[in-house]
Chains A and B, each alone.
Chain A
Amino acid sequence: AQSVAQPEDQVNVAEGNPLTVKCTYSVSGNPYLFWYVQYPNRGLQFLLKYITGDNLVKGSYGFEAEFNKSQTSFHLKKPSALVSDSALYFCAVRALTGTASKLTFGTGTRLQVTL
């Protein structure tokens, strides 16, 4: 069975500083990895995904994520955080169940960016 771990419930960072939100995964075969962001009282929005190719994936709003196969990690990063980045972030891994594309989500990490 596949799983995703987000070890930090909350990450606090000052505006302008770099941020990292951690994610590790477990899946049989090649992983397809996703990051989603959820703003208050909203649905999840897609940020970026890793399918194959370059280990560094660039996504929306200046976010990027680095796939590390040996460490089974897919940490989300941004060089300079903004207050508007404050939200709930979910890492997800895709596994194939029958013919369904099943995403398994982590429990989420709340990012708080302060002035």
Chain B
Amino acid sequence: IAGITQAPTSQILAAGRRMTLRCTQDMRHNAMYWYRQDLGLGLRLIHYSNTAGTTGKGEVPDGYSVSRANTDDFPLTLASAVPSQTSVYFCASSPIAGSPDTQYFGPGTRLTVL
């Protein structure tokens, strides 16, 4: 059972470069989410998608974009990375948007922007 996979596991990136973090789930969940985890701040929602073809902004969306072309994939793109985007990024999914479903998390991507 794979659940949610994220790639890469970690990445060091020069400021100004473009980067796409990949997220794939095999649970056929409708809703998917991207969070960033920073020390002392917990997890903060970047973007979400209720279902394939739709996306929405979370708490900290600036500098990030997402797409949801199909049910399984939810890539997160940093168009021009900045050092403040250094963080650990988690992708998550839940069966149905708008319900108290449990969210399931991927293993994370550790991103360092220099």
Interface residues of A (CB under 8 A from B): 32, 34, 36, 41-46, 49, 51, 90, 94, 96, 98-103, 105-108
Contact = CB atoms under 8 A, between A and B. Distances in A.
**Is the interface on chain B under 10, 10 to 19, 20 to 34, or 35 or more residues?**
20 to 34
A108 B41 CA distance: 8
A102 B104 CA distance: 13
B75 interface: no
Given A90-B42, A107-B40, A102 B48 contact: yes
A50 to B, nearest CB: 9
A100 B105 contact: no
B82 interface: no
Contact of B56 (A34, A36, A98, A105): A98
A34 B94 CA distance: 14
A79 B100 CA distance: 27
B97 interface: yes
A105 B38 CA distance: 12
